[in-house]
């Protein structure tokens, strides 16, 4: 499919565009430019198609690793399978987490004495040449009227490990706000060679 803009009947010759001097432009150069424009458009279309294909492959892989293989191995009572070529397929339990409701999640961590995994980050916006001010800021933030933001986070790997441990602890698991932590758990097949 050719872009209508690039069709011969719709292209305005460069010589006819007001204010553009085309006296030094060769006809072959214009033809090459048109071909390169078509090539660029084709490449963009191919990239978009490949990105869609990769996304589809990732979704299919997730279905195979997190549903089909674990379900079948559970059905036949296996935890590990070794193929003829030596490849091993093992199903392990996993926990994924991502804080979705920060207020609820951080309040729960503090209420259950697990605030040690919370990281606090203060960002300060300074202008150019404010190196000396940057050195003073640690103790003088409010006194200097410097705009600062506080960011409270938990590192992704720390959060996953904590949620995995909390789910194994009956006392914490009962009160753990799963939605606030965006907890997703299941079984996942892993291939090793």
Condensed to tens digits (0 to 9), the pLDDT of residues 41-97 reads 999 999 999 999 999 999 999 999 999 999 999 999 998 999 999 999 999 999 999
**Do 100 and 181 fall within a single domain?**
yes
**Do 125 and 60 fall within a single domain?**
no
Residue 58 domain boundaries: 25-78
Alpha-carbon gap, residue 30 to 14, rounded angstroms = 9
Residue 102 lies in a domain: yes
**Do 124 and 175 fall within a single domain?**
yes
Instruction: Answer whether residue 14 shows pLDDT above 70.
Output: no
Q: What is the pLDDT of residue 140?
A: 72
Residue 98 lies in a domain: yes
**Do 71 and 149 fall within a single domain?**
no
* Token pair of 63 as six digits: 């279905």
Residue 178 burial (10 A CB sphere; 0-12, 13-18, 19+):
middle
**Do 45 and 99 fall within a single domain?**
no
More confident residue, 98 or 193: 98
Condensed to tens digits (0 to 9), the pLDDT of residues 69-84 reads 999 999 999 989 999 9
How confident is residue 125, by pLDDT bands cut at 50, 70 and 90? confident
Residue 9 lies in a domain: no
Q: What is the pLDDT of residue 121?
A: 83
Residue 6 lies in a domain: no
Alpha-carbon gap, residue 45 to 26, rounded angstroms = 29
Nearest by Cα to 181 from 76, 93, 107, 81: 107
Residue 83 CB neighbour total at 10 angstroms: 10
Q: What is the pLDDT of residue 151?
A: 75
Residue 64 lies in a domain: yes
**Do 131 and 177 fall within a single domain?**
yes
Residue 14 lies in a domain: no
**Do 112 and 60 fall within a single domain?**
no
Q: Which of 68-72, 116-120, 130-134 has the lowest mean pLDDT?
A: 130-134
Condensed to tens digits (0 to 9), the pLDDT of residues 17-26 reads 555 566 666 7
Residue 146 lies in a domain: yes
Alpha-carbon gap, residue 8 to 35, rounded angstroms = 12
Q: Which of 56-65, 143-152, 176-185 has the lowest mean pLDDT?
A: 143-152
**Do 46 and 98 fall within a single domain?**
no
Residue 15 lies in a domain: no
Number of domains in the chain: 2
């Amino acid at each position: 499919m050719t872009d209508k803009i690039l069709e011969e009947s719709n292209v305005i010759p460069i010589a006819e565009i007001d204010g553009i001097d085309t006296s030094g432009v060769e006809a072959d150069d214009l033809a090459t430019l048109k071909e390169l424009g078509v090539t660029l458009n084709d490449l963009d279309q191919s990239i978009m198609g490949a990105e869609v294909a990769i996304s589809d492959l990732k979704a299919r892989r997730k279905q195979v690793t997190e549903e089909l293989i674990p379900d079948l191995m559970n059905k036949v009572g296996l935890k590990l399978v070794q193929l003829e070529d030596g490849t091993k397929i093992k199903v392990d339990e996993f926990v994924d987490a991502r804080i979705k409701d920060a207020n609820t999640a951080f309040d729960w961590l503090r209420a259950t004495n697990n605030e040690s995994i919370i990281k606090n980050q203060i960002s300060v916006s300074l202008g150019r040449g404010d190196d000396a001010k940057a050195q003073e800021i640690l103790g003088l933030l409010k006194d200097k009227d410097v705009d600062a933001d506080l960011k409270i986070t938990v590192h992704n790997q720390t959060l996953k490990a904590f949620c995995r441990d909390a789910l194994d602890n009956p006392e914490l698991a009962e009160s753990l706000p799963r939605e606030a932590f965006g907890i997703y758990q299941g079984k996942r097949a892993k291939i090793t060679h």
